[in-house]
Amino acid sequence: MITNFQEIFEVLKSGDKKRLVAAYANDSHTIGAVYEAVKLGIVEATLVGDKAEIEKTCAEHNFDITVFTIVQEADEFGAAKKAVQLINNGEGDMIMKGLVSTDKYMKAILNKETGLMPPKAVLSHVTLMKNPAYHKFLVVSDCAVIPQPDLNQKIALANYTVRVARALGIDKPKVAMIAASEQVLPKMQACVDASIISKMAERGQIKNAYVDGPLALDVAIDKEAAEIKKIESPVAGDADCLVFPNIESGNVFYKANTKLTEATLGAMVVGAKCPAILSSRGDSVETKLNSIALAALVASK
């Protein structure tokens, strides 16, 4: 079982390299992160963008441009569409946002005719987080994409977290459906949905996982809290995955971990034909590298 990001790097170095396609990769932030990933030996990379700008940026920062495949497309939205086309043509295994605006990047991915979305797919966000106060990785969803997931979307979120956890080598991940209370409260929709999904997993409708909920956050990740509250569950106090009931709770958890603790993390958008990295300029190089590694690991499974 993989327990930290360095181990993910080592697994990727020893396997067949997946190819990352970066959309409108004209800027030093994107090129620098991808360059580090290539030099570490965890991916191969194609940069789609203005070749002259890419050459200029590489020269300014002493990046060896020969490690990249470069596809010329000077237009921002055109570069996003070209990156998606390369994925659909089998010339890439994951996609990454470069200097292109998020709306244009997502528009290219979501296009019903030329994009990357399978029929009836749910696009969501998964974060892989290592907090020094917790004894193992946490796979968290959804912190960034779906504002108020309905029951079917929450089922998809649970399955996405299971897939990521299994890519880490966890045979039967423990998924906590998070709510404000571990009691089944009919007037609280998060509790109702969590109860349904928990029972679905019990009946085999969600496979290869233990799923329990509703669980308050303390019960999900703290054995003592679970014991005090007399919650008997294979998930309570030892969760691998946390599925939050809405974007507010998931986003607050994500940002509290990044700003108030020494948590390390990587994140990606899932549900498309391939993992999609949605990094921002504010992300550290470490976070971008971790996100690339996470996407490559999932793409290899």
CA distance 81 to 188: 42
**CATH code assigned at 50:** 3.40.50.10950
Tell me, yes or no, whether 14 and 116 share the same domain. Answer: yes
Check: CB of residue 262 under 8 Å from CB of residue 287.
no
pLDDT tens-digit profile of 20-70? 999 999 999 999 999 999 999 999 999 999 999 999 999 999 999 999 999
Instruction: Using DSSP, state whether 276 is helix, strand or coil.
Output: strand
Tell me, yes or no, whether 131 and 235 share the same domain. Answer: yes
pLDDT over threshold 80, residue 254? yes
Structure tokens at 71: 């596809």
pLDDT tens-digit profile of 166-209? 999 999 999 999 999 999 999 999 999 999 999 999 999 999 99
Q: Count of domains in the chain? A: 2
pLDDT of residue 301: 85
Does 282 fall in a domain? yes
pLDDT over threshold 80, residue 223? yes
H/E segment holding residue 175? strand 174-178
Does 266 fall in a domain? no
pLDDT tens-digit profile of 230-251? 999 999 999 999 999 999 999 9
Q: Which residues is 128 bridged to in the sheet?
A: 139, 266
Tell me, yes or no, whether 147 and 210 share the same domain. Answer: yes
CA distance 11 to 300: 11
Tell me, yes or no, whether 91 and 156 share the same domain. Answer: no
Tell me, yes or no, whether 113 and 59 share the same domain. Answer: yes
CB-based contacts of 173: which residues, under 8 Å, 6+ apart? 139, 161, 162, 165, 166, 208, 209, 210, 240, 241
Check: CB of residue 195 under 8 Å from CB of residue 178.
no
Tell me, yes or no, whether 59 and 178 share the same domain. Answer: no
CA distance 279 to 98: 8
**CATH code assigned at 253:** 3.40.718.10
CA distance 89 to 292: 21
pLDDT of residue 279: 79
Does 267 fall in a domain? no
Does 265 fall in a domain? no
Tell me, yes or no, whether 187 and 98 share the same domain. Answer: no
Range of the domain at 289: 5-120+272-299
